[in-house]
């Protein structure tokens, strides 16, 4: 039988920390998910231990109401209203509005003014404005309104980052990453690497995705959706629940933050990305990709597995992912590691997932709190691993690992450390 383990470690490529000795600090966060609008609401909802998943509302879809999903309560119109001082000029797609909402929150949280040439924006999305495109796809040949034209011309991913920069007045070159469900973990990793390489001092990194017929039908055709609330890491898990949302984090070199008297919420201590090369969408049952990404993150953070206090796992509740991730966690961390998935609260928010998990993890470190993984009953027989299932408070969480894995075998792990 094929055994991937003997040679995997020698084949890993470590993203060495750059010449720059500055630490990468998180100095601001912004979040929008089914749990709530802004960090306070998200945190209160997570602490209550209640899922925000409910039957999906996707008008015009035959699946409307048939799957559980995590939906952001603010409508497009309400988002535009909340962003009134930005003077939104055109109808923009939902991921753009959610990005603007959370990016602005993160900047405010970091006490950084908009309209600056200091900030490098790194955005992430899986399918850009397709939730808008699909509404207009039928009537291409009809006389279109200006609104339809705008929506169609902003179908591509890069429109989001361009619009965010334009409205927030960020004049530095921006980045847009699209590596499926690992996208925003990769955005945070790139932010840290740009700062380490001396190419940026302040980075605004994150991602957004909205619900769409395109993605719902895509995952449905892959038989990856659970019509009921998802059950991450459970023996009888059936599939994922989609979610929508956005989150952005301000990453700043410690030197820059110190100079302006800003303390850090957390430190980006390590990162690792690896392509698994098992299958173009599915993960290998042994979890080689997850193992590789987590190993690389530990190496780059110069930490031992024993020093990780919690793994905020990808934990989508699909049969393949949770087996792979569970196997990899067991192999690298043994049987006693605290881990869990927040997908049962927010749904799988695709390109926003890594950034949302990261923001929640920073809250966890600050408050010494571990959320219970909901709907878990029986461990996966192959590993016997159980996630944390009860609320844990007064925990000393020094290092949290955040996993995010995507199509194309794209696996990324981040490590956040508690601010000194």
Q: Which of 174, 286, 348, 399 is catalytic?
A: 348
Nearer Cβ to another protein (67/339): 67
Cβ burial of 28 (10 Å; 0-12, 13-18, 19+) is: buried
- The burial of 60, by beta-carbon neighbours within 10 Å (0-12 exposed, 13-18 middle, 19 or more buried), is given as exposed
Nearer CB in complex with another protein: 183/264 = 183
DSSP 274-309: EE--S-SSSPPTT-HHHHHHHHHHHHHHT--GGG--
Q: Are the C-beta atoms of 179 and 213 separated by less than 8 Å?
A: no
Catalytic residue among 174, 181, 286, 312: 181
Binding residues for another protein, rule: CB under 8 A, are 8, 11-13, 15-16, 18, 61-63, 126-128, 130, 133-134, 137-138, 140, 144, 149, 152-153, 155-159, 161-162, 171, 173-180, 186, 190, 193-194, 197, 199, 213-214, 217-218, 220-222, 273-281, 288-289, 292, 406-410
Q: With respect to another protein, which residue has the nearer C-beta, 158 or 379?
A: 158
Q: How far is the CB of 92 from another protein (least distance, A)?
A: 14
181 is catalytic: yes
| Count of positions (residues) in the chain | 420
Active site residue 314: yes
- Rounded distance between C-alpha atoms, residue 91 and residue 328, angstroms: 44
Cα 202 to Cα 243: distance, rounded to the nearest angstrom: 29
> Strand, helix or coil at 384?
coil
Residue 274's beta-bridge partner residues? 411
Cα–Cα distance measured from residue 397 to residue 389, given in angstroms and rounded to the nearest whole number: 17
CA trace torsion 319, 322, 324, 325 (10° rounding)? 170
The candidate with the shortest Cα–Cα distance to 411, out of 287, 316, 305, is: 287
Of the pair 171, 306, the CB lying nearest another protein is at 171
Spatial separation of the C-alpha atoms in residues 257 and 26, rounded to whole Å: 9
Question: Which residue, 280 or 420, is less far from another protein as judged by CB?
Answer: 280
Comparison of 41 and 64: residue with beta carbon closer to another protein: 64
Asked if 157 is an active-site residue, the reply is no
- Judged by CB, which is closer to another protein: 11, or 81? 11
The burial class, CB within 10 Å (0-12 / 13-18 / 19+), for 21 is exposed
Do 200 and 191 meet the contact criterion of CB atoms below 8 Å apart? yes
- 214 in Cβ contact with 70 (< 8 Å): no
Least distance to another protein, CB of residue 93, Å:
14
Token pair belonging to 11: 């084949």
HEC secondary structure over 36-99 = EECHHHHHHHHHHCCCCCEECCCCCCCCCCCCEEECCCCCHHHHHHHCHHHCCCCCCCHHHHHH
Q: How far is the CB of 164 from another protein (least distance, A)?
A: 12
Q: For 173-265, where are the alpha helices, taking DSSP H only?
A: 183-196, 213-221, 254-259
Of the two residues 82 and 217, which places its CB atom closer to another protein in the complex?
Answer: 217
- Give least dist CB 356 to another protein, A: 20
Catalytic residues: 181, 314, 348
């Amino acid at each position: 039988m094929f055994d991937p383990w003997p040679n995997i470690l020698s084949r890993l490529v470590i993203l060495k920390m750059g010449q720059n000795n500055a630490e990468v600090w998180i100095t601001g966060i912004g979040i929008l998910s089914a749990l709530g609008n802004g960090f306070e609401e998200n945190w209160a909802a997570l602490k209550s231990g209640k899922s925000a998943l409910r039957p999906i509302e996707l008008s015009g879809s035959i699946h409307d109401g048939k799957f559980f999903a995590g939906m952001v309560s603010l409508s497009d119109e309400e988002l535009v209203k909340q962003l009134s001082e930005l003077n939104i000029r055109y109808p923009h797609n939902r991921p753009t509005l959610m990005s603007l909402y959370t990016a602005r929150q993160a900047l405010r949280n970091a006490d950084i003014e908009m309209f600056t040439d200091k900030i490098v924006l790194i955005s992430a999305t899986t399918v850009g404005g397709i939730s808008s495109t699909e509404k207009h796809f039928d009537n291409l040949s009809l006389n279109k309104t200006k609104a339809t034209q705008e929506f169609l011309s902003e179908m591509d991913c890069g429109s989001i980052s361009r619009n965010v920069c334009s409205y927030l007045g960020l004049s530095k070159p921006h980045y847009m990453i699209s590596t499926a469900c690992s996208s925003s973990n990769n955005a945070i990793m790139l932010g840290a690497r740009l700062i380490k390489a001396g190419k940026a001092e302040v980075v605004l990194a994150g991602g957004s995705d909205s619900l769409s017929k395109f993605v719902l039908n895509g995952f449905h055709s892959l038989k990856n959706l659970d019509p009921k609330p998802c059950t991450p890491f459970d023996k009888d898990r059936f599939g994922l629940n989609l979610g929508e949302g956005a989150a952005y984090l301000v990453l700043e070199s410690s030197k820059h933050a110190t100079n302006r008297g800003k303390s850090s919420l957390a430190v980006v201590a390590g990162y690792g990305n690896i392509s698994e090369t098992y299958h173009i969408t599915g993960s290998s049952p042994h979890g080689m990709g997850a193992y590789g990404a987590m190993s690389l993150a530990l190496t780059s953070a110069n930490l031992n597995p024993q020093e990780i206090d919690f793994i905020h796992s990808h934990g989508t509740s699909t049969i393949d992912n949770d087996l792979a991730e569970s196997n990899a966690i067991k192999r690298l961390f043994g049987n006693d590691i605290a881990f869990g998935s927040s997908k049962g609260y927010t749904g799988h928010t695709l390109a926003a997932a890594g950034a949302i998990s990261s923001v929640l993890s920073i809250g966890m470190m600050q408050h010494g709190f571990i959320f219970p993984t909901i709907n878990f009953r029986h461990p996966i027989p192959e590993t016997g691993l159980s996630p944390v299932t009860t609320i844990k408070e007064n925990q000393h969480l020094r290092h949290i690992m955040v996993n995010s894995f995507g199509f194309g075998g794209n696996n990324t792990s981040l490590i956040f450390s508690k601010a000194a």
